[in-house]
Chains A and B, each alone.
Chain A
Amino acid sequence: MTSALRALGTVFRRELATVLRTPGYAVLGLGVLLIVAAVAVVGGGGSTGILPAVVDLLLPVEVLVPLVAVVLGYRALLTDVGSGELAVIRTYPVGVVAYTLGVLLARLVALIVLVGVPLAMVGGYIWATASPETGIYATHTGVDSPLLFVRFLTFALALGASYLAVAAAVSSLAAGRRSALALGSVVLLGGVLGGDLGVLRSLSDGGSTTALAGTVASTPNGAFRGLVFEYVVGVAFEAGNGFVDPGRAVLTLLGWSVVGVAVAVGSLAYGRRVDAVLERLRGRFRF
């Protein structure tokens, strides 16, 4: 095993152990399960089939998944920075990339458990109990299928991963717990509401409706919603409905994740140098 992989694995295991020993996350997972189950039951979709259930769950998931991701990520990198432990870790042969990926992969596993397990449980229950028959695996348009729920779950986790990466980037830039919380809230509100408000503003200002499929796909929530419409809900309609540009939507979710990780790595790697340069400039120009 190379030194970088060993370091990544060591950081990953410690971070995962930390998450497992934090009771609040178990409560969070239970909360997600209760909310998702309640929405499926109260909305009525859960008793009808996978597709109606997805329609019921779509909006709550758009809020819940980013919320859980931000909760998992907003202090992920700040904890070691704030306690001074990162300064100790960096005296070992641990690269910033290995450290950051180790922390974030552990948090991603936590996200998969906290979001994926409750959704999978609800999806499995609907599959087993709903009528009409949902046990037929869909191979063509129009048939309700558990595979549709798997797609929905996959898109939801991709949405969560992008928020987790952005929240971690915020965590690496924050000066303390309060500022991390404030910045995390901005990420959550800006992501959940800001993207759609921006699209509406663009349309009200005379923006092109023909470009809507691409515009919607440029925010994580828009990309997620578009993919769900295109590949889950859309199977009940004609193929190629053009809810969203699928390639752009996938690139958006992937891009936000990559940019978030890159900002986090850059911040940890160069933050001290940037601070020293600013101090040098402050000394020279007396500001």
Chain B
Amino acid sequence: MTDTTTLTADGERRIASFTDVTRTYGGIPVVDSVSLSIRPGTTAVIGPNGSGKSTLLGLLAGSVEPVEGVVDRAETGDGRGERRVGYLPQDVPFRGSFTARETLAFYARFVGADPDALLASVGLTDAADRRVDALSGGMRRLLGIAQATIGDPPLVVLDEPTSGLDPGMRERAFRVAAAAADDGTAVVVSSHDLDLVGEHADRLLLLDRGGVAAADDVDSLFEDHDVSSVEELYRSVVASDSDGLGGSSEADHAVHVTGVSE
């Protein structure tokens, strides 16, 4: 298959791009005229609840159809397999009566991958024969991340892979997700965990009310906004417009706005 990956203006590979993409539900725009490029490395998508993160990730993964605009994804190439995008939705959707190995084996058969190697890559070898409905939330997320990387796709989309996990499991899930970006893969991950985003992300995509409030390399954004952490950046760009920022949190440094559904 031809590699149609294009280059950005600064000469970097572009794995995917949005051109004036809009998605509405019931006539209300959830993602509004968004244009952006996704490059290799880890891109973190952050923003308040209801800012359009899941919809944007769905558009990127192909599970949501744009109402206006164009979503381009790179073809596979460079010796990669047949899969163009790996995707883990916010709610891990696997069937509960299947074991972890059976679940990965189902997906692995589509592209001829080895489920045991995938289980090992996320540290779930010991849980291989446990049913999905007997796995902890963190283990399910790790299983989901392993699934998303099957077939070595050039783009991996992970929707809040650390949501609802304890601090140790959040760190582990984020580390595994970021590791997938080491070989030139573009990993796009949404998260409310701003500390982990700061530790692992190469680039940030900050959404607010369906639009892109800021998007660039982490260091450039810090410099442009004269801040030293993702949380400060978040507060600088988004929080001034949001009510209730201090009203709730998932963890000490996580941002979570209550009362707004994704």
Contacts and interface: CB of A to CB of B under 8 A. Distances in A.
A208 B89 CA distance: 58
A279 B151 CA distance: 34
Contacts of B226: none
B241 interface: no
B167 to A, nearest CB: 26
Interface stretch (B21-29, B180-188, B203-211, B212-220): B21-29
Nearest to A20: B97
A91 B24 contact: no
Which of A90, A92, A283: most chain B Cβ within 10 A?
Answer: A92
A93 B83 contact: yes
Interface string B65-100: 111100000000000001111111101011101100
A84 interface: yes
Given A18-B97, A83-B93, A85-B95, A90 B110 contact: no
A17 interface: yes
A280 B82 contact: no
A24 B65 CA distance: 36
Interface in B102-119: 102, 106-107, 109-111
A273 interface: yes
A45 B83 CA distance: 59
A275 B67 CA distance: 9
Interface in B139-160: 147, 150-151, 153
Given A83-B93, A91-B62, A279 B25 contact: yes
Given A6-B109, A93-B110, A88 B93 contact: yes
A178 interface: no
Given A83-B93, A90-B63, A91-B62, A279 B24 contact: yes
A151 interface: no
A17 B131 CA distance: 14
Given A276-B67, A279-B24, A85 B94 contact: yes
B138 interface: no
B61 interface: yes
A85 B144 CA distance: 11
Interface in A1-38: 3, 6-7, 10, 14, 17-18, 21-22
Interface string A79-110: 01001110111111110000000000000000
Given A87-B58, A88-B89, A282-B26, A275 B65 contact: yes
A10 B104 CA distance: 12
Interface in B168-202: none
B106 A276 contact: no
Contact of B24 (A6, A84, A90, A282): A282
B64 interface: yes
Classify chain B's interface size: 35 or more
A6 B89 contact: no
Nearest to A9: B109
Contacts of B84: 91
A286 interface: yes
Contacts of A93: 82-83, 110-111
A80 B27 CA distance: 26
A84 B65 contact: no
B151 A87 contact: no
Contacts of A85: 93-95
A255 B78 CA distance: 46
A280 B65 CA distance: 11
B135 to A, nearest CB: 16
Contacts of B27: 279, 282-283, 286
A87 B95 contact: no
A10 B103 CA distance: 12
A272 interface: yes
A276 B65 contact: yes
Contacts of B109: 6, 10
Contacts of B58: 87
A74 to B, nearest CB: 18
A79 to B, nearest CB: 8
9 contacts: A10-B110, A87-B63, A87-B93, A88-B87, A88-B88, A91-B86, A276-B65, A276-B67, A279-B27
Given A93-B110, A280-B68, 18 more contacts: A10-B106, A17-B102, A18-B97, A87-B62, A87-B89, A87-B93, A88-B89, A91-B85, A91-B153, A92-B83, A92-B111, A272-B65, A273-B65, A280-B67, A282-B24, A283-B27, A283-B67, A286-B27
Interface of B: 23-27, 58, 61-68, 82-89, 91, 93-95, 97-98, 102, 106-107, 109-111, 147, 150-151, 153
Interface of A: 3, 6-7, 10, 14, 17-18, 21-22, 80, 83-85, 87-94, 272-273, 275-276, 279-280, 282-283, 286
Nearest 9 A-B pairs (CB), nearest first?
Answer: A87-B63, A85-B93, A276-B65, A92-B110, A84-B93, A83-B93, A272-B65, A93-B82, A84-B89
